[in-house]
Amino acid sequence: MDGEVPEVERIARRIRRIFAGVASSAYFGGAERAEFAHFEGILLEALAKIAAKARSGRLRLLDLSYFPQCLRYPGYQARVAVFIGSFDPFQMTHLALALRFLAEEDSEADLVLVVPEGADNPLKPRKTDYRFRYDIARRQLDGIFNPLVAPLDLGEGADTIEIVRRLIALHPGAALRLTHLLGSDALPTAVRLLPEDLAAWREAAARHRVALDFGIHVQRREGAPVPDALLAEARRLGVRAETSDESLVTPSSSDFRSRGALTVAFPAPALLARLELLFRYGMQRPWMEAAAGAALDPAEPSQAPGGPGRTPDEPPRITADYEI
């Protein structure tokens, strides 16, 4: 990166080292290496733009040494984005979305906090328990993406309204410019609930003497335009409402769960140890070929050495699914 920013370059070096380890692992085949390389490019491109913002002073690199017990913001003015979702599991699409948000010219956040939602949801009866989902996110982020993206253990038993309330309570006396990251598919529900949510969050801000400036940032979903009317309604309620510069086309968590797209998980050593058995036995299904419209030959054995040939009933499809 030109004009190195040490904190960002350290993250880039960690990413390169992790993906280089993947490339040299005997149990990964060509398809797996290509898919990991695709994500590596997305992450490093975002980091290069973040470094440029940091050099110009438009992004402040925070000290997270004692986070979250001690929150250190210049002048106690916090510019934070909160990324709330099921994260079942957290994976590189989420990570890419967080870094791309920080990299965007118009975004004014210095840190993205990743918080799995822990409330019961009857629409997702098979959702894994909160502690497991938080641990999977932590294994992919801790010690790698600080000080840009960090997991925050704030979601146990809580829905979005309660998570934001808890986050406000962590910032007594602060000026808090808080941005909620959303997928475009979640925008209608978010806007419908905004009047109730804002009332609760503004009450919490008053109680903790927080100067709250709340906004939403919507990640575009491939092929699904963000309705201007919904953004206008959010702004009418006094909320900043922005959209991403471009859509992000990568697999979703449902592709990981139901279609075996294991390469969407960031291969941090702490997580890869849990996934190695699945890769070795050829349970990974490539998603890039399907995304490009290439049909998989059902007679073709797995690319992964050491595993049996896999003959999926159908090729995995790529989805830009931000139901997270």
Of 125, 128, 94, give the one whose Cα is nearest residue 257: 128
- Residue 276 burial (CB count, 10 A): 13
Q: What are the residue boundaries of the structural domains of the chain, listed by start?
A: 61-243
pTM (predicted TM-score): 0.86
Render 170-228 in DSSP notation, one character per residue.
TSTT-EEEEEEEEEGGGHHHHHHHHHHHHHHHHHHHHHTT-EEEEEEEEEPBTTBPPPH
Of 84, 156, 88, give the one whose Cα is nearest residue 120: 156
Rounded Cα distance, 275 and 283, in Å: 10
Q: Which residues of 188-225 are buried (b: 16+ CB within 10 A; e: fewer)?
A: eebbeebeebbeebeebbeebebebbbbbbbbbbeeee
Rounded Cα distance, 151 and 281, in Å: 31
In the block, tokens 């994976």 appear at: 91
Rounded Cα distance, 20 and 259, in Å: 26
pLDDT for position 290:
59
Taking the chain (324 residues) in runs of 10, the rounded mean pLDDT of each run is: 84 97 87 92 97 96 90 93 95 95 95 96 83 96 96 97 98 97 90 97 98 94 77 96 82 77 91 84 76 42 36 36 39
| CATH H superfamily, domain 61-243 | HUPs (3.40.50.620)
Contact (Cβ atoms closer than 8 angstroms) between residue 154 and residue 130: no
In the block, tokens 């079942």 appear at: 88
pLDDT for position 314:
37
